[in-house]
A and B are shown apart, each in its own frame.
Chain A
Amino acid sequence: MASCTIHTAPYSCSISRPAAKAFSLGFHQRHQQLIFFSSGRRSAVVCSAEKTVVIGLAADSGCGKSTFMRRLTSVFGGAAEPPRGGNPDSNTLISDTTTVICLDDYHSLDRTGRKEKGVTALDPRANDFDLMYEQVKAIKDGVAVEKPIYNHVTGLLDPPELIKPPKILVIEGLHPMYDSRVRDLLDFSIYLDISNEVKFAWKIQRDMAERGHSLESIKASIEARKPDFDAYIDPQKQYADAVIEVLPTQLIPDDDEGKVLRVRLIMKEGVKRFAPIYLFDEGSTISWIPCGRKLTCSYPGIKFFYGPETYFSNEVSVVEMDGKFDRLDELIYVESHLSNLSTKFYGEVTQQMLKHSDFPGSNNGTGLFQTIVGLKIRDLYEQIVAERAAASAAAAKV
């Protein structure tokens, strides 16, 4: 087994042998790991001096993950696109620095298989967590993998595609934090928690234009999936480092349109390399209405809240925004009063929000907090890179 003699810990530059057992999954594909043989060039190709940073994003389908992905990849620069020349139904997105993998690709049962067993995609029995763990670990260690593709249109498992280790890997799906082994590989995890009323309103918006759908069918679909969702997906939020909770607004009585939202960013305390954002004074409880003499807002206005709380027996800080942005100056005013945003220059959050003003949620807390989480992840990544550079400098001296 060849190994990199030059680099020592913390880089694990061992080349893994192909897995001994062939994964006999329903679709008859063995995942192969690409082995780089060190032929003279011992250090260059083989040992990726940087282990991939892995981010996990959990949410139910139709809950804005793809919008989040686009905002996130935009923070890092460049647009994420499906791999060129590959399967057109691939769920993967690739940009210069980031690769986004959809965890639906690790379904062990395709649509027919699930129907036979009477199992939803939310059920762990429909997913191959062993393969998920093996492949995410391999990518994190700098080894390219052949990842299966789950075709959402046909409901079948397509032939695999090659995924090369990127600088940042984002795994999005229903179960990124379900398996404890995969959870331990994540450098940062986010859970998008959409309340039932808002979910209903969003799905109506999405599906009502569709022929065949009616209010009853949308409702029935949500209800039928709820038991599995509550049993398998929802519990993951206790493990997340950041939870974005979307609730109906409290500013408009009996609002059922879901246009104005109350969004809470719940940030776990004590997470390595992650400093929660705060309003005015860290650790205190603040209730803030920015609209007044200096700033005029239109109905229903904006309301902020910040404070420490307990969430599933974890210490957390919560920043909450209720209302929506109507004008640019509201956005910049709010940004100037938030702290610990990890922006590189004043107004970066506003700039990012404006860049994607056509995305859903760009005028309320969902877009704001998704953008802020994106900046936090960028900061986390840069901290990791700096740590590695420092470590290698120290190792070189020794």
Chain B
Amino acid sequence: MATAAAAGISLSSPIRTVPVAKAELLGRKPVRIGQMLPLQRMAATAGRGRVVVVKGTQSSTPPDISEKVEESIKKAEEACAGDAVSGECAAAWDEVEELSAAASHAREALKANSDPLENYCKDNPEADECRTYDN
């Protein structure tokens, strides 16, 4: 899907992991490819061919808002093709501005909620995991 690809996450291919049995035999927890060091990754993929690395983009807008922004830009360009100084043209670009602002807020909100540790620490700043050392 175009939107998903734009978001930087591949939905079609599954995440390849190190063969679980072998890792557990060694007493270690299985590690995802994405978390492995480059050397380990090379070793894991030797002979296996394609490795799918799941890469989340840093700031991705939720797809529905992203689509809205795109549509509104197209509509605004159409509206202004006729008469560049009309009220309709201004209103159309104003809508683009509004949706872009909403998209940027959504991106921020997504970023803010993406780290579960941050969310936990917001509510429990005195917990051990949330201690910060400044000096």
Q: With A152-B101, A153-B102, A225-B90 in contact, is A213–B95 under 8 Å at CB?
A: no
| Distance, CA A61 to CA B65, complexed state (A) | 17
Q: Are B69 and A61 in contact (CB under 8 A)?
A: no
- Is B92 in the interface zone, CB < 8 Å from A? yes
What is the distance, in angstroms, from A377's C-beta to the closest C-beta of chain B?
Answer: 24
A224 / chain B contacts, CB cutoff of 8 Å: 76, 80, 89-90, 92-94
Interface readout for B84-128 with A: 1 if CB under 8 Å, 0 if not?
001111111111111111111110000000000000001000000
Is the beta-carbon distance between B94 and A62 smaller than 8 angstroms? no
Residues of B within 8 A of A114 (CB): 91, 94-95
**Are A155 and B95 in contact (CB-based, < 8 A)?**
yes
| Chain A neighbourhood of B103, CB < 8 A | 210
Chain A interface size, as a band, is: 20 to 34
Interface hits, A195-214 → B, CB 8 Å = 203, 206-207, 209-213
Q: Give the distance to chain A from B38, nearest Cβ to Cβ, in Å.
A: 27
Q: Which residues of A contact B89 (CB under 8 A)?
A: 224
Interface string of A219-251 (1 = CB under 8 A from B): 011011101100000000000000000000000
Of the candidates B73, B86, B101, B102, the one whose C-beta lies within 8 Å of that of A212 is B73
Indicate if the CB atoms of B70 and A211 lie closer than 8 Å: yes
Assess whether B66 is interfacial by the CB under 8 Å rule: yes
Given contact pairs A217-B77, A220-B76, A119 touches B87 in the complex (Cβ within 8 A): yes
Report the Cα distance A257→B97, complex, angstroms.
21
- Indicate whether A220 sits within 8 Å of B80 (C-beta atoms), given known contacts A119-B91, A210-B100, A225-B97: yes
Q: Are B93 and A221 in contact (CB under 8 A)?
A: yes
A337 interfacial by beta-carbon distance below 8 Å: no
- The complex places the Cα of A209 from the Cα of B61 at a distance, in Å, of 9
B6 at the A/B interface (Cβ < 8 Å)?
A: yes
Q: Which residues of A contact B (CB under 8 A)?
A: 61-62, 66, 79, 111, 114-115, 117-122, 152-153, 155, 203, 206-207, 209-213, 217, 220-221, 223-225, 227-228
Shortest 4 CB-CB contacts between residues of A and residues of B = A118-B87, A212-B70, A224-B93, A120-B94
Q: A61-B97, A120-B94 are in contact. List 8 more A-B contacts (CB 8 A).
A: A111-B98, A114-B94, A114-B95, A152-B102, A206-B101, A212-B73, A213-B69, A225-B90
User: Can you offer 21 A-B residue contacts whose CB atoms are under 8 A?
Assistant: A61-B98, A62-B97, A62-B100, A62-B104, A115-B92, A115-B95, A118-B87, A118-B88, A118-B90, A121-B94, A122-B94, A152-B99, A152-B102, A153-B106, A210-B61, A210-B100, A212-B70, A213-B100, A217-B76, A220-B80, A221-B76
